[in-house]
Chains A and B, each alone.
Chain A
C-alpha cells in the first residue's frame, strides 16, 4: 500500500511539473515577446519607451537564454512563487489564494447538486417501468450537455431574479446569491454524471449476479440500490478528476455571468489584459485540482473495490 501511495504521489508531481512546462511553453514562447504584450496591455495605455521595455525585460529575465529562464521560473514556482501580476503588481499566489474561497464555495455546492440531481435522474431513469418517463429522463442529460452554461445562467437570472424577484441576480453576499450560480454550474456536470451513471447502471443490470439476486427474491428497489448501484457507481467515480476539472472551468464562465468574485473572474480579467504570470498560475492551479481529485480517487478506490490493490500487487510481482 505504501508503494502504491508513493507511486501515485510521484505521478501527481510529474503531471504538475509537466503542466507547468506546458504553460511556460504556451505563454512565454508562443507569442514573439511577452514584454511588449505586457507593455501594451498593462497598467496604462501610454506608449512605453524602448529603454523601459529593456528594463522590464531585464527585470523579468527575458534577456537570458530560454532554458535559464525556464529553470529560474520553475525553481521559484516550486517554492510557490509565480511572480507578480503585471496588472496589479500583487503576487500571483496571494491573488489566487484570496479568490479561492469563493470559487471553492461555488464548486462544492455545484458538485453536491450535480451528484444528487445527476444520480437521481440516472437512478430513476433506469428504475421506472414507464417507457415514456424513462425516455424523458434519459433525454435530460443530453439536453444538459448541449446548452451553453452562460445561457442557462442568464435564463435563470431573467426568470427568477428579474421576473419573479426570488433570488439575487449578481454578487456574492449570503447563501441566497449562491443558489443560482451553483445550479447553473451543476447542470452540465450533473448531466455528464447522469449519462455515465445511467450507462453503467444499464450494463450492470444485465450482469449475472443481478439475476442471481433477483432469483433469490430480492425486491426491485433492493436490487437496484444495493446490488447494481454499488458496482455501477465505480466507473462514474473514476471520472471525478474530469468532473472537478469541468467544474473549475465552468466556474470561469459562471462567475462572469453572476459577477461573483473568484478564481474564474481573476482568470478572465488576467486574460483580457494578457497578464501572463496570473494565467500561468491559473493553469497550474487547474491542473492541480485535476491531479488532487484523481489522487483522492486513487486512494479511495481500493477501499471501495479491493480487486484494484490485488491487481496492482499481481502486476508488480509479474512485471
Chain B
C-alpha cells in the first residue's frame, strides 16, 4: 500500500496501477516475460482459451479472413449438405454455408456480449462506487435496491426489460447487462470500502484534495481490479444469456446469423440435419469455456498479487 502512495504522488502522468515501480524496468520486464512464458507453458488449456477468444475476435472484425462465402446467399441445390470438405459445418435448409454463418455471426454475438458487460460494468460500477464513497443513508438506499435486483432471477429481469424495450440484438444486450448490474455494484462497493480506509486516501484528503479527485484518482484506480475480473467472468455469462434470449426469439430477426438464432432455427431440423444446431452450439460452448478459463486465471493472479 505504501508503494501505491508513492505512485499516486507523481503528478502529470496520472494513476496507472499496472506500471512497474522498480528502478530498473528493463531487467524486470525480461524476467517477467520469461516467467509469463513458463506460466503459460504449464497451462496448455489457458493458451488454447486465449487462442479461441482471439479467433472469435478476429472473426468478428475480419470475417473474410476465415471464409469467402456469403452468409446470406443460399444455393438451393446444396440444401442440407452434411459437414465435409466443401462445407465445413454443412449447409442449412436454404443451402447457406453454416460455417460462413457462424463466422459472420461472431460480430453480432461479440457486439451483444460487449454491450451487455459494458452496461453492467458502467451502471453497476457507478452504483457501487457512489454507495461505497457516500456511505450513510445513500449507501443504504442504493444497496437495498441492489438486494432487490438480486432477488429477481436474472432471466426474468431481462425478460421484463425486453418486454419494455422491445426486440433486437442491442436491446437484448442492454437487458442482459441491466439484469446483472447487482453483482458489479456489490463487488465495487466492497472494494471501495476497503480502499477508503487506506492510508493514501487519508493522505490525499489531508493534503486538501477535492472529493472528486480523491474518488477518481485514488479510490477508483485501486478499487477497480476485482471489478474488471468480474467483468471477464461476466463475459461468459453474457454470451449464454444473450444466446438464450435470442433462442427464445427476441434477438436479431431471422436472416441475420446470430449464434443463438442459428441454434434455434436448427431446432426445426434436428431429426434430419444434426449439424445445424450442434455446431453453432459447440462454438458458443467453446467461447464460454475459453472466457471462463481466462477469467479464472486473472482471478487467481490478482488474488496472489494482493
Residues of chain A touching chain B, judged by Cβ–Cβ distance below 8 Å, are 15, 18-19, 22-23, 26-27, 30-31, 142-143, 145-151, 154-155, 157-158, 162, 169, 245-246, 248-250, 252-253, 256-257, 267-268, 270-272, 274, 276, 279-280, 282-283, 286-287, 290-291
Picked from A148, A246, A276, A291, the residue with its CB within 8 Å of the CB of B163 is: A276
- In Å, the complex CA distance between A282 and B162 comes to 14
Q: Which residues of A contact B155 (CB under 8 A)?
A: 249-250, 252-253
Picked from A149, A274, A286, A291, the residue with its CB within 8 Å of the CB of B156 is: A286
CB-based contact B274/A158 at 8 Å: yes
Main secondary structure of the interface of A (DSSP, over half): helix
Contact status of A271 and B163, CB under 8 A, knowing A150-B263, A151-B284: yes
Picked from A30, A154, A271, A287, the residue with its CB within 8 Å of the CB of B270 is: A154
CB-based contact A30/B266 at 8 Å: no
- In Å, the complex CA distance between A271 and B145 comes to 24
CB-based contact A27/B248 at 8 Å: no
Which single residue of chain A is at the shortest CB-CB distance from B259?
A148
Q: Which residues of A contact B292 (CB under 8 A)?
A: 142, 145-146
Which among B156, B162, B270, B274 has the greatest number of chain A C-beta atoms within 10 A?
Answer: B156
- Pairs A-B, 9 closest by C-beta atoms: A249-B155, A151-B281, A245-B153, A18-B148, A249-B153, A30-B164, A286-B156, A146-B288, A146-B289
Q: 0/1 per residue, B51-92, Cβ < 8 Å to A?
A: 000000000000000000000000000000000000000000
- In Å, the complex CA distance between A142 and B264 comes to 24
CB-based contact B148/A22 at 8 Å: yes
Picked from B160, B236, B249, the residue with its CB within 8 Å of the CB of A146 is: B236
Q: How many A-B residue pairs have CB under 8 A?
A: 134
- In Å, the complex CA distance between A79 and B270 comes to 46
Q: Which size class do B's interface residues fall under?
A: 35 or more
CB-based contact A27/B164 at 8 Å: yes
- In Å, the complex CA distance between A142 and B186 comes to 23
- In Å, the complex CA distance between A252 and B157 comes to 12
- The interface-forming segment of B21-29, B96-104, B203-211, B239-247 is B239-247
Which single residue of chain A is at the shortest CB-CB distance from B148?
A18
Smallest CB separation, A236 vs chain B (Å): 18
- In Å, the complex CA distance between A253 and B248 comes to 7
Picked from B148, B163, B284, B285, the residue with its CB within 8 Å of the CB of A274 is: B163
- In Å, the complex CA distance between A169 and B270 comes to 11
Q: Which residues of A contact B260 (CB under 8 A)?
A: 148
Picked from B243, B250, B267, B274, the residue with its CB within 8 Å of the CB of A148 is: B243
Which single residue of chain A is at the shortest CB-CB distance from B162?
A271
CB-based contact B281/A155 at 8 Å: yes
Those of B270-300 within 8 Å (CB) of chain A: 270-271, 274, 277-278, 281, 284-285, 288-289, 292
Q: List 15 A-B contacts (CB under 8 A).
A: A19-B148, A19-B151, A143-B289, A146-B240, A149-B240, A150-B247, A162-B271, A249-B154, A250-B155, A252-B156, A257-B267, A267-B159, A271-B159, A274-B163, A287-B152
CB-based contact B248/A268 at 8 Å: yes
- In Å, the complex CA distance between A250 and B156 comes to 10
CB-based contact A162/B248 at 8 Å: no
Smallest CB separation, A279 vs chain B (Å): 5
